[in-house]
Structure 1
Amino acid sequence: MKKISILLFAVFSSLSCEKDFIELQPISDMNVNTFYQTEQDMNQAVLSPYESLHALYDQPFIYMGEVRSDNTSFSWVPGNSKDMVSIDNFSDPLLSDNSFVLSVWNNSYNTVLRSNIVLDKIDGVEFTNPALKEQYRAEAHFLRALVYFWLARVYGDVPIVDHELSLEEAYVLGRSPIEEVYDFIVQDLEFAEENLPDSYSDVDIGRATAGAAKGLLAKVYMTMAGYPLKRGDSYYQLAEEKALEVINMEAYSLVPDYESLFDVANENSSESLFEIQYKKGGTDTGSPWNNSFAPRFSDNEVVLVGDKSGFNAPTESMSTAYAENDPRKSISMSDGYISDSDGEFVAEKYVTKYYDVSFSGSDNDNNWIELRLADIYLLYAEALVRQNKQLDVALTYLNRIRERARNSTGGGTVPADYPAFGTQQDFLLAIEEERRVELAFENHRWFDLVRTERAQAVMSAQQATVNGFDPGAWSDNQLLFPIPLQVIQSNPDKITQNPGY
Structure 2
Amino acid sequence: MKKIYLLGLISLFTFSCKEDFIDLQPISDMNAGIFYKTEKDMNQAVLSPYASLRSLYNQNFIYVSEIRSDNTTFSWVPGNSKDMTSIDNFGDPLLSDNTFITNVWNDSYNTILRSNIVLDKIDAVTFTDNKLKEQYKAEARFIRALVYFWLVRVYGDVPKVDHQLSVQEAYTIGRSSTEEIYNFIVEDLKFAEANLPTSYAAVDKGRVTVGGAKGLLAKVYMTMAGYPLKKGAPYYALAEAKALEVINMPQYSLVPDYKALFDVTKKNSSESLFEIQYKKGGTSTGSPWNNDFAPRFSNKEVVQVGDKSGFNAPTPDMSKAYEPGDPRKSISMSDGYVAVPGGQTVNEKYVKKYYDVSFSGSDNDNNWIELRLADIYLIYAEALVRQGKQQAVALTYLNKIRQRARNSTGGSANILPDYAPFSSDAEFLLAIEKERRVELAFENHRWFDLVRTERAKAVMTAEQKEQNGFNPTAWKDNMLLFPIPLQVIQSNPEKINQNPGY
| TM-score, normalised via structure 2 length | 0.95
Residue identity matched to 2:337: Y
- For 1:429, the equivalent position in structure 2 comes to 430
Q: Report the CA distance between 1:414 and its aligned residue.
A: 1.2
Residue identity matched to 1:237: A
Question: 1:83·1:98 contact (CA, 8 Å) conserved in 2?
Answer: yes
1:81 and 2:85 correspond: no
Question: 1:488·1:497 contact (CA, 8 Å) conserved in 2?
Answer: yes
Q: Deviations over 1:304-347 (max 9, x none)?
A: 00000001000001001000010000000000000112111100
- For 1:497, the equivalent position in structure 2 comes to 498
What SS does the aligned partner of 1:294 have? coil
- For 2:129, the equivalent position in structure 1 comes to 129
Q: Report the CA distance between 1:201 and its aligned residue.
A: 1.5
1-structure distance, mates of 2:187, 2:75:
41
Residue identity matched to 2:298: S
- For 1:191, the equivalent position in structure 2 comes to 191
1:233 and 2:247 correspond: no
What SS does the aligned partner of 2:64 have? helix
- For 1:286, the equivalent position in structure 2 comes to 286
Residue identity matched to 1:432: E
1:7 and 2:21 correspond: yes
Alignment of 1:2-401 (within 5 A): 6-7=20-21, 9=23, 12-13=26-27, 18=28, 20-21=29-30, 31-401=31-401
Q: Report the CA distance between 1:34 and its aligned residue.
A: 1.4
Q: Report the CA distance between 1:88 and its aligned residue.
A: 0.2
Structure 2: gaps (5+ residues)? 1-16
What SS does the aligned partner of 2:65 have? helix
Q: Report the CA distance between 1:11 and its aligned residue.
A: 6.2
1-structure distance, mates of 2:256, 2:88:
35
Question: 2:22·2:279 contact (CA, 8 Å) conserved in 1?
Answer: no
1-structure distance, mates of 2:410, 2:68:
30
C-alpha spacing 1:5/1:265, structure 2 compared with 1 (3 Å): farther
Q: Deviations over 1:361-415 (max 9, x none)?
A: 0000000000000000000000000000000000000000000001003745311
- For 2:487, the equivalent position in structure 1 comes to 486
Question: 2:18·2:24 contact (CA, 8 Å) conserved in 1?
Answer: no
Question: 1:6·1:279 contact (CA, 8 Å) conserved in 2?
Answer: no
Question: 2:87·2:94 contact (CA, 8 Å) conserved in 1?
Answer: yes
Question: 1:58·1:289 contact (CA, 8 Å) conserved in 2?
Answer: yes
C-alpha spacing 1:94/1:410, structure 2 compared with 1 (3 Å): farther
2-structure distance, mates of 1:154, 1:41:
33
1-structure distance, mates of 2:446, 2:296:
24
- CA RMSD across the alignment: 1.2
2-structure distance, mates of 1:65, 1:7:
28
Structure 1: gaps (5+ residues)? 22-30
2-structure distance, mates of 1:328, 1:4:
37
1-structure distance, mates of 2:329, 2:448:
21
C-alpha spacing 1:131/1:250, structure 2 compared with 1 (3 Å): same
Q: Which has the higher helix share?
A: 1
Question: 1:4·1:277 contact (CA, 8 Å) conserved in 2?
Answer: no
- For these two proteins, the number of residue pairs brought into alignment is 485
What SS does the aligned partner of 2:403 have? helix
2-structure distance, mates of 1:434, 1:82:
32
2-structure distance, mates of 1:425, 1:194:
36
Residue identity matched to 1:428: L
Residue identity matched to 2:482: F
Residue identity matched to 1:7: F
C-alpha spacing 1:355/1:198, structure 2 compared with 1 (3 Å): same
2-structure distance, mates of 1:276, 1:323:
30
Question: 1:8·1:51 contact (CA, 8 Å) conserved in 2?
Answer: no
What SS does the aligned partner of 2:101 have? helix
- For 1:442, the equivalent position in structure 2 comes to 443
| TM-score, normalised via structure 1 length | 0.95
1:474 and 2:488 correspond: no
1-structure distance, mates of 2:398, 2:250:
20
What SS does the aligned partner of 1:312 have? strand
2-structure distance, mates of 1:51, 1:158:
23
Residue identity matched to 2:203: V
Q: Report the CA distance between 1:7 and its aligned residue.
A: 3.4
2-structure distance, mates of 1:116, 1:165:
10
Give the fraction of aligned pairs with identical amino acids, expressed as a percent: 74
- For 2:7, the equivalent position in structure 1 comes to none
2-structure distance, mates of 1:345, 1:427:
39
Q: Deviations over 1:114-135 (max 9, x none)?
A: 0000000000000001110000
Q: Report the CA distance between 1:254 and its aligned residue.
A: 0.3
Question: 1:11·1:44 contact (CA, 8 Å) conserved in 2?
Answer: no
1-structure distance, mates of 2:302, 2:156:
38
Q: Deviations over 1:418-454 (max 9, x none)?
A: 0000000000000000000000000000000000000
2-structure distance, mates of 1:409, 1:362:
30
Q: Report the CA distance between 1:33 and its aligned residue.
A: 2.2
C-alpha spacing 1:5/1:251, structure 2 compared with 1 (3 Å): farther
1-structure distance, mates of 2:216, 2:45:
23
C-alpha spacing 1:378/1:8, structure 2 compared with 1 (3 Å): closer
1-structure distance, mates of 2:199, 2:127:
21
What SS does the aligned partner of 2:66 have? helix
- For 1:454, the equivalent position in structure 2 comes to 455
Question: 2:48·2:114 contact (CA, 8 Å) conserved in 1?
Answer: yes
Residue identity matched to 2:452: R
2-structure distance, mates of 1:174, 1:5:
37
2-structure distance, mates of 1:44, 1:382:
40
- For 2:416, the equivalent position in structure 1 comes to 415
